[in-house]
Amino acid sequence: MSCNTVGVALATLALGVCVTLAAAVSQGPSHIDIFGGQSGKVPFPHIQHQERLKDCNVCHSVFPQATDAIKKMKEQGALKPKKVMNVQCIKCHREEKQAGKPHGPVTCSTCHAK
């Protein structure tokens, strides 16, 4: 094996490691407490949703991947109250329940923690 071939192999391996690490870093925390307004925060098992949904854009097409994005958007008037919880979360959970699949909570009070 020539030095050139070894160099290319090492560069390819290094690139693969960098891509893998970047993907792991961009996944965010495994658990998030989401701003839930006057009803209290919503403990959110982020990692479970990532594993189940696979596509981050299912949620993040509505709000960015940033700390307190939902809270900030609501304060700016860019996101209507209950849009995320009712349109995104509960709707999906109910669809999964109707399909006979494992699902998350389907009522407000089971998520919000005062």
pTM, 2 dp = 0.69
45 and 21 in one domain? no
* Nearest-angstrom CA–CA distance, 112 and 84: 13
Instruction: Give the pLDDT confidence score for residue 23 in this predicted structure.
Output: 46
Q: Are residues 23 and 61 in the same domain?
A: no
How many CB atoms neighbour CB 15 within 10 A? 10
| pLDDT higher than threshold 90 for residue 11 | no
- Binned at pLDDT 50, 70 and 90, residue 35 comes out as confident
Same domain, 40 and 24: no
Number of domains in the chain: 2
Range of the domain at 10: 1-28
50 and 92 assigned to the same domain: yes
Give the least confident one: 15-19, 26-30, 61-65, 75-79: 15-19
- Examine the pLDDT at 33 and tell me if it is beyond 90: yes
DSSP letter at 41 equals B
* Residue 114 near residue 39, CB atoms below 8 Å: yes
